[in-house]
A = this chain, B = another copy of it.
Amino acid sequence: MQGCPVSLQEQTKPQLNEPPQSFENVNERYRYVRLATEELCRSLSDEDCTPQSMTDASPVKWHMAHTTWFFETFLLRPSVPEYEPFHPKFEYLFNSYYHSVGERHPRPKRGLLTRPSRNEVLEYRAHVDAAMESLLASQANPDIDALTEMGCHHEQQHQELILTDVKHLFWQNPLLPSYSSNGDSTNEIADIDMEWLPNDGGLVSVGHDSDGFAFDNERPCHQVILQPFEFGSRLVTNEEYSDFINDGGYEKSEFWLSEGWDTIQRRGWNAPLYWVRGDEGWSQFTLLGLVPLVGSEPVCHVSYYEADAFARWYGARLPREFEWEAMAEGEPVFGNLLEQQQYRPTSLSQGAPLQSPAQLFGDVWEWTQSPYVAYPGFVPSAGSLGEYNGKFMCNQIVLRGGSCVTPQSHIRSTYRNFFAPDARWQFSGIRLARDCSL
């Protein structure tokens, strides 16, 4: 298995496990994010970086190139007249879905691009990085800074996808390779009771309203009315989910949305993705290879349909996205995030403090019951970046809170992730809520 070319190895590595609490300026953020991407891919071979395991996933090499294409397309080409594109075809090859930028290589064929090689993609990255350094070093320009910050957040989204897509790729291989051997040992931990944290609801303010970065879909900040509700004090665990399975959860239609029931029949689902039943009980495929299922860890890799059915079986429901946001308001962004390098959700070691839900950030994205729609008064970003979020506001469900592979500097309480209700390859899990009993 050959690794990264020598030149990169000599560079100063960002210390991923000691992430900056904040960045002094956008140049620092740019450098940190760009190196972090390459660091994530270092242990992978050229071959690992090439195939595409399904249409929803992309090759690692493609992620490395596409994030670079973003800076070339939205910053260097429009703002640096003397900029020489690295390769005339890359605009076509590495466009993801921006119709306004031009034609694209067909998504299902990304895994057939054996050329450019990974080394050439690294040269492409270096070429763009050099030009970006010059651009950022020239006189300050708030628009450039804003677009660069956007590009960094875009790349952080792809850092998460690199890991979820590699996991899915390795899962197709009967050798079940592991991405990392970093993770701590994962011991079963004694049960922590689910408690119900009350919230009075009423008029609450939701959405992003500060100066910091946020995507267009988090704006504008506005008021909504919430009915009183109760919020689960922690995430649902593998053990609780096993109880659902053992109780025939996948065989009883009364727990399921109609589309969910059809989906589990058609695809033969009877457990979360990556669960493997063996003679000794369940195992779970992780980025650290195949390991025994740990009951106290948060359940992960469930679809919206499964999360919703579990909640109904439990006698609860999924939270609405604004209920989640109301609970997260003011909570510190802290948890099992990418920089912890666990690459899997981990057990809760102690109960949450009074009134404060545990595991809000990190571990797993939490399915809400809210379809992904525009906030009242939503205005998409200007230009091609208007295609970033708005055009996906259909048949998607909002998830909140980030996962064990989300960079810490990328997540916040107003952040809205979204996936189709049948998506399972993300680190997606279950938070419960319920209406107040009278």
A residues engaging B (CB < 8 A)?
A: 1-2, 45-51, 53, 61, 89, 92-93, 97, 99-100, 105, 109, 111-119, 169-170, 172-175, 177, 203, 222-227, 253-254, 256-261, 304-305, 320, 369-371, 373-374, 376-377, 391-395, 421, 435
Contacts and interface: CB of A to CB of B under 8 A. Distances in A.
The 10 closest A-B pairs by CB, nearest first: A371-B371, A99-B253, A47-B114, A112-B172, A227-B376, A258-B391, A48-B114, A47-B50, A395-B395, A46-B46
Copies in the complex: 4
A89 B175 contact: yes
A369 B373 contact: yes
A377 B258 contact: no
Contacts of A226: 376
A289 to B, nearest CB: 12
A86 to B, nearest CB: 13
Contacts of A223: 225
A174 B51 contact: no
Contacts of A119: 1-2
Most buried by B among A177, A258, A259: A258
A61 B51 CA distance: 13
A173 B114 contact: yes
Contacts of A254: 99-100
A118 to B, nearest CB: 7
Contacts of A113: 173, 175
Contacts of A170: 114
